[in-house]
Amino acid sequence: MLAACGGTASAPAQSAQASQPAQAAAKLVVGYSNIAGDEIPLWLAKDAGIFDGNGLNVDLQYLAGGTKAIAALVAGDLQVSSQGGGELMGAVSGGADLVAIANLGPVYPFELEVTPDIKATADLKGKKVGVASIGGASDIAARVVLRKNGLDPDKDVSIIAVGDARTAKSALQSGAIQGTVLSPPSTVEVEAGGAHPLYNLAALKLPNTQGLITLQRSWLNANRATAQKLVDALVQATARTKHDPAAAKDVIRKYYKLDDAKAVDATYDFYTQEVYADYPYPRADQFTDALSELSKKSEQLKGFDPNKIIDDSLVKSAEQRAVASK
């Protein structure tokens, strides 16, 4: 009788458990601001099912430019934005309550490319250096490398905004500018036309914010478990990028719309060897250069403390659980 009672009691319990639906995946709209290598782990997490494996249903959207991505985040059209630190600090100084939880590009992912007649940094004196936009990531990178090599970017060269990487390539190849900062695969293309690199900024390991994973603080406070899944997925995707070249190169070809095998290989090698960190900690020193440059023109950014817009606890949790090796 006891056995029979036990049997009849357990059957409904098992039936009830079996009838419970699986927990629905958390839906996230994630915007990224550039077709650049720091976004490769984001793309791979989507295409390889890593987001799905972490219980996330991600709608990945391209918004050309960090300002657009941040604006969409503030408006509530996104839950997550990937952009630079300058755009984040500008938004926060203007009243937005945002927080960075990871940084996929912790060093400058650029090389200083110059025309064939430029043999040393000093040769750029009196010449034109092109950047995507004044105050943007490439502008800050150009100023940093020029200063580190003895030139005053405000006096010794003319820094001009030329638009995106495509227009910068054309301007360099035509001689309209004599230097610019580019990332692979653009570097491969300009070098095929005769340009050459003076400096690999990534190899110098200068701290930077590129691919800064940003949330509204109120959303993070209400959805920390989902945010942790997001960080875990990005850590796993970074590890997959490093250890599965075939999968990573597939997404490079897809998102860059790139067929040149040499350029694909160069892009993969540059970012996996020079840029990515196993655990993408956001750190205050990664904002230093952008803050130094932008505060010259913005009173609101003078005395700005980057520590107030950083939450590294989710990356720390991922490292404590050795997520990169799973």
Parallel, antiparallel, or unpaired for β 179-182 and 111-114? antiparallel
pLDDT tens sequence across 212-234: 999 999 999 999 999 999 999 99
Question: Which of 211, 217, 271 lies closest to 87, judged by CA?
Answer: 211
End-to-end CA distance of the chain: 48
Q: What is the pTM of this model?
A: 0.86
Using alpha carbons only, how large is the chain's radius of gyration in Å? 23
Q: Which token pair is 78?
A: 């996104």
What's the full length of the chain, in residues? 326
Query: Which positions ≥6 away from 180 have C-beta within 8 Å?
Result: 112, 113, 129, 130, 131, 138, 142, 162, 168, 169, 171, 172
Q: Does residue 46 carry a pLDDT above 80?
A: yes
State the Cα–Cα distance between residues 58 and 60, nearest whole angstrom.
6
Q: With beta carbons less than 8 A apart as the criterion, state whether 9 and 40 touch.
A: no
3-state secondary structure 230-299: HHHHHHHHHHHHHHCHHHHHHHHHHHHCCCCHHHHHHHHHHHHHHHCCCCCCCCHHHHHHHHHHHCCCCH
| Per-residue exposure over 72-92, b if at least 16 CB sit within 10 Å of its own CB, e if not | bbbeeebbbbbbbbbbbbbbb
Looking at 1-5, 130-134, 237-241, which range is the least confident one? 1-5
State the Cα–Cα distance between residues 3 and 14, nearest whole angstrom.
16
pLDDT tens sequence across 235-263: 999 999 999 999 999 999 999 999 999 99
Over the chain, what is the mean pLDDT? Answer: 90
Instruction: Write down the pLDDT at residue 4.
Output: 39
Looking at 40-44, 82-86, 284-288, which range is the least confident one? 82-86
Query: Which positions ≥6 away from 268 have C-beta within 8 Å?
Result: 245, 248, 249, 252
Read off the DSSP letter of residue 106.
E
Q: Domains plus CATH for the chain?
A: 27-108+207-325 (3.40.190.10), 111-200 (3.40.190.10)
100 CB-side CA count, 13 A: 33
Q: Does residue 81 carry a pLDDT above 90?
A: yes
Mean pLDDT along residues 28-45: 94
Host H or E run for residue 31: strand 26-32
Instruction: Write down the pLDDT at residue 22.
Output: 57
Instruction: Write down the pLDDT at residue 13.
Output: 41
